[in-house]
Amino acid sequence: MKEPLLEVRDLWVEVEGKEVLKGVSLIIPKGETHALFGRNGSGKTTLLMTIMGFPSYRVKHGKIFFKGEDITHLPPYERAQRGIGIMFQRPPTIRGVKLREMLSLCAKENGVKIEELAREFGFEPFLDRDVNRGFSGGELKKSELLQLLVQDPDLALIDEPESGVDVENLQVISRMIRRLLQKDTHRPRTKSGLIITHTGFILQYVPADLGYVMIEGQIYCRGNPLEIFEGIQKHGYEECVSCLRRIGGA
Amino acid sequence: MSEKDRRSLEPKLENFRPAKEGQAPRSLEELSPEEWAHLKEAGFDTQIPKEGEFFQADAHVVQCRSLPEGLELMPVTEALQRYDWIGDYWWKAVSAEKDVYTRATAEDLDEGYFIRVLPGYRLVYPVTACLYIRTPEVVQKVHNLVIVEEGAELNLITSCTTHPGVRSGFHIGVSEFYVKRNGKLTFTMIHEWAEELHVRPRTGIIVEEGGTYVSTYVTLHQVATVQSFPHCRLVGPGARATFGSVVVAPKGSLLDLGAQISLEAPGTRAEIISRSVSTGGETIARGHLIGKAPEIKAHLECQGLMLSDEGAIKAIPQLDAYYANVDMSHEAAVGKIAQEEIEYLMARGLSEEEATSLIVRGFLKVRIEGLPETLQKRIDQAVELARAGL
Ligand SMILES: Nc1ncnc2c1ncn2[C@@H]1O[C@H](COP(=O)(O)OP(=O)(O)OP(=O)(O)O)[C@@H](O)[C@H]1O
Ligand SMILES: [Mg+2]
C-alpha cells in the first residue's frame, strides 16, 4: 500500500450534543482521490469539518493522523498550514476584504500566480469584489476552488462541488478540481482529495480511486466508486448495507 | 462606566492653560522627525499634491499658503478684519450660546481657518488643514469658517493631533460650513489625539439648493473623551448630505458621536453611516434625521462590533417625519464577530488573531458614497496602520 496521507481511526463525533459520526475509519494514501456518497444528513459534511478541525465538531473518541502526525486536537489554521484545505458548501461573506487580498493570504508566499490562475478560470473580474459578497451559487464554488488552488493543499476536502452549477460551469469547476488534484499529470501524483457527491457527475471528469458510502454516521461500502454509484442509483442506499456484508467490509 | 465616572470625564476649562501661552514653532521646519511621523499618521502630509495648506499649533498659525486662483485661505482672524460681510456667516450655523464651550470660544478665540472657494471653481486636489496641540495641558479654542460658493467644489482634509510628548489637553473646534447652490464640500477629519485629551467639535453646516456635503470622520486611537454632534441643514431643494464615521474605542476612551440632519426642502437626501468597534472603550453612535419637507429620502445605518466584554457600544437612532411623502429608514446592529467568519479564515491558514484583525479591518472599510477615491484610500490606510493595535 502507498504511504497514507490521512488516516481516520474509529472516529466518534458529536455536533451540538448530537452524536453524528459513530466509528468512522478510512485511509487516504498520497496521490489518491476518494469519493464519499450517502443520504442527506448521514454525516458526510461532518466528517470533512472534523478533519479540518472546526471546534463545534467534537471528537469524543478516535484519532486523525495527517502525514503520520496526530492532528486530532490541532486548530484549523495549523491543519491548513500542514496541508489540508477545504471547499466550503456555504462560505460566509467577508465584507471589506477583497478576494485578491484573501487569495494572497491563502498563498502565504508560496509563489502561486494569483492573477494568472484567476484569468485562466475566468474569475478575474471578481478579484476586486469583497470575498463572496453577492456571489451566485456557481460563483461561490469557483471562488472556493480558486482559494484552494492558491492555497495548494496536499489534501483537498471537497463538499458537493457540482451542486447548483450549470453544465458550462461544471466544465470549469471540473478543470479546477483536476488541477487541484493533479489529474492531468503523468508523474506520480502527490495531491489527494476527498470528494462528496450526490449526483456523481463530477466523477466523470475527476476520476476517483475509491468510493465509500456513509450511512447514519458509519462507513459501509468501500470499493470502485463508479460501481458503488451505479449500485446506489439502481437499488438505493440500503443495498450498501448488504453490499458491505457481501464484501466483508474490506 | 458609571454616571459618576462619566461626569468626572467632563473637562473643565479652568483646568487647562490658555493655548496662547503655548510654544509655537516659527515654521514647519522646526518640527522634529517624531512630530512629523505623528502628523503623517493623522493624515497631514506635505508631500501630496494639494491646493492649499494650513497649519496651526496651539493658538498660532504656523503655515498658511494657497496656490490656485479661486481659493481664499487665511487665518480666520484675518478674514474677520478683511470682510465686512462675514457677520452673515459668523455664528450663524452654530449658536455662540450653544454651550459653555462655544461661549468660551466666542469670548477668547485661538484662531482657526477661513476657506472660501469662489463661484464655479472646482478644486481638484485637497486643501489640508492641521490643528495641532504642541504644548501639554492647554485648551485650544478654534473657530473655522468654510464657504463653498455657487457651483464650486472643495475637498478639505483636517488632521487633528498632538505632539508625541503631550498626554493631556483640551480641543474645542467650532466649525461653520456653507455650501451654496450646486456647490460641493467633501470634509474629512482624522483624529489622532492623546490618551488624556478631551475634544469638543461644534459643527454646523448649511447646504443650499443642489449642494452636496460629504463628511467622513475617523478616529482609531485612544483619546479620553470626544463629544460631537454636527447639525446639518439642507435648506434648498435637492441638497444632499452624507456622514460617515469610522470609529475605534480603545479602553479608556469615551466617544459620543453622531450627526443631526434636518431635511428642510423637497427632494433633499441624507445618509448617516457609522461603523464602531469597541476594544474596551465606549462609543455612542447617534443619528437624528428630521424630515421637514415632502419627497425626501433619509437613511441611517449604525453598525457596531464588540471585541471585548469591557466597554460598550450604544446605537441611538432617531427619525422624525412631518410629511406623508417621506422615505426614512434606519438599521442598527451591534454584535461580536461571527464565529463562522473566523473559522472560515482559519481554514485558509490564518490564526485566530489574524482572522479577527482582518475581519475588523474589513468592517471598518466602509464605502462612503461621493468620497473621492484618493480620500477613501487614505482612510483605508489609516485603518491599515491602526491594525496592529486592534
Ligand atoms: N451545527 C449543527 N447543529 C446541529 N446539528 C447538526 C449540525 N451539523 C450537523 N448536524 C446534524 O448532523 C447530521 C449530519 O449532518 P451533515 O451535514 O454531516 O450531513 P450530510 O451527510 O453532509 O448531509 P447532506 O447530504 O444533506 O449535505 C444531520 O442530522 C445534521 O442535522
Ligand atoms: Mg453535507
pLDDT at position A22, please? 96
What letter would DSSP give residue B368?
A: P
Q: Do A106 and B349 touch (CB under 8 A)?
A: yes
CA distance A86 to A88: 6
Judging by beta carbons within 10 Å of its beta carbon (0-12, 13-18, 19+), is residue A9 exposed, middle or buried? middle
The answer to whether A17 and A71 are in contact (CB under 8 A) is: no
Chain B contacts of A108, Cβ < 8 Å?
349
Q: For chain B (length 390 residues), average pLDDT per consecutive 10?
A: 55 93 90 90 83 95 90 97 97 97 96 97 93 96 98 95 94 98 95 92 98 93 94 98 93 95 98 93 96 97 91 95 96 92 95 89 78 72 62
Cell numbers at B333, concatenated:
446592529
Does a structural domain hold residue A129?
no
Collapsing DSSP to helix, strand or coil, A166 comes out as: coil
Does a structural domain hold residue A224?
yes
Give which of A230, A223, A215 is closest to A246, Cα–Cα.
Answer: A223
The answer to whether B368 and B273 are in contact (CB under 8 A) is: yes
Query: Which residue ranges have their beta carbon within 6 Å of ligand 1?
Result: A 15-16, 18, 20, 38, 40-46, 56
CA distance A241 to B203: 75
| Per-residue pLDDT tens over the stretch A21-69 | 999 999 999 999 999 999 999 999 999 999 999 999 999 999 999 999 9
Q: Which of residues 248-277 of B touch A (CB under 8 A)?
A: none
CA distance A159 to chain B (A): 14
Q: Do A96 and B366 touch (CB under 8 A)?
A: yes
Could you tell me how far CA B89 lies from the centroid of its own chain?
20
Q: From ligand 2's centre to the CA of B283, what distance in Å?
A: 41
| Per-residue pLDDT tens over the stretch A129-178 | 999 999 999 999 999 999 999 999 999 999 999 988 998 899 999 999 99
The answer to whether A158 and A196 are in contact (CB under 8 A) is: yes
Chain A contacts of B350, Cβ < 8 Å?
77, 105
CA distance B339 to chain A (A): 10
Does a structural domain hold residue A63?
yes
Atom of ligand 1 nearest to the CA of A42: 21
Query: Would you say residue A1 has pLDDT above 80?
Result: no
pLDDT at position B389, please? 54
CA distance A151 to A80: 9
Residue of A77, A88, A91 with shortest CB distance to B349: A77
Q: Does A96 touch chain B (CB under 8 A)?
A: yes
| Per-residue pLDDT tens over the stretch A107-122 | 877 778 899 999 999 9
| Per-residue pLDDT tens over the stretch A62-107 | 999 999 999 999 999 999 999 999 999 889 999 889 999 999 988 8
Neighbour count for residue B267 (Cβ, 10 Å): 18
Range of the domain at A208: 4-88+153-172+183-247
Q: Does B1 touch chain A (CB under 8 A)?
A: no
Chain B contacts of A151, Cβ < 8 Å?
348-349
pLDDT at position A247, please? 45
Q: How many domains does chain A have?
A: 1
pLDDT at position A250, please? 37
Q: Whose CA is nearest to atom 26 of ligand 1?
A: A40
Tell me, what amino acid is at A165?
V
pLDDT at position B40, please? 85
pTM, rounded to two decimals: 0.83
CA distance B197 to B9: 10
CA distance A87 to chain B (A): 9
Residue A130's beta-bridge partner residues?
A98
Residue of B nearest to A51 (CA): B347
Q: Do A95 and B362 touch (CB under 8 A)?
A: yes
Q: Do B349 and A108 touch (CB under 8 A)?
A: yes
The answer to whether B341 and B313 are in contact (CB under 8 A) is: no
Q: Do B348 and A88 touch (CB under 8 A)?
A: no
Collapsing DSSP to helix, strand or coil, B374 comes out as: helix
Tell me, what amino acid is at A80?
A
CA distance A243 to chain B (A): 36
Does a structural domain hold residue A202?
yes
Q: Do A92 and B341 touch (CB under 8 A)?
A: yes
Q: Does A102 touch chain B (CB under 8 A)?
A: yes
Ion ligand 2: residue ranges with CB closer than 5 A: A 45
Cell numbers at A34, concatenated:
476518494
Residue of B347, B351, B362 with shortest CB distance to A94: B362
Q: In this structure, what CATH number is given to the domain that contains residue A70?
A: 3.40.50.300
pLDDT at position A238, please? 78
Give which of B315, B282, B284 is closest to B300, Cα–Cα.
Answer: B315
The DSSP annotation for A172-215 comes to HHHHHHHHHTTTT-SSPP--EEEEE-SS-HHHHHS--SEEEEEE
Atom of ligand 1 nearest to the CA of A217: 14
| Per-residue pLDDT tens over the stretch B172-224 | 999 999 999 999 999 999 898 999 999 999 999 999 999 999 999 989 889 99
R_g (Cα) of chain B, nearest Å: 20
Residue with cell 473657530: B143
Residue of A nearest to B366 (CA): A96
Least confident range of A212-221, A230-239, B223-232, B299-308: A230-239
The answer to whether B239 and B211 are in contact (CB under 8 A) is: yes
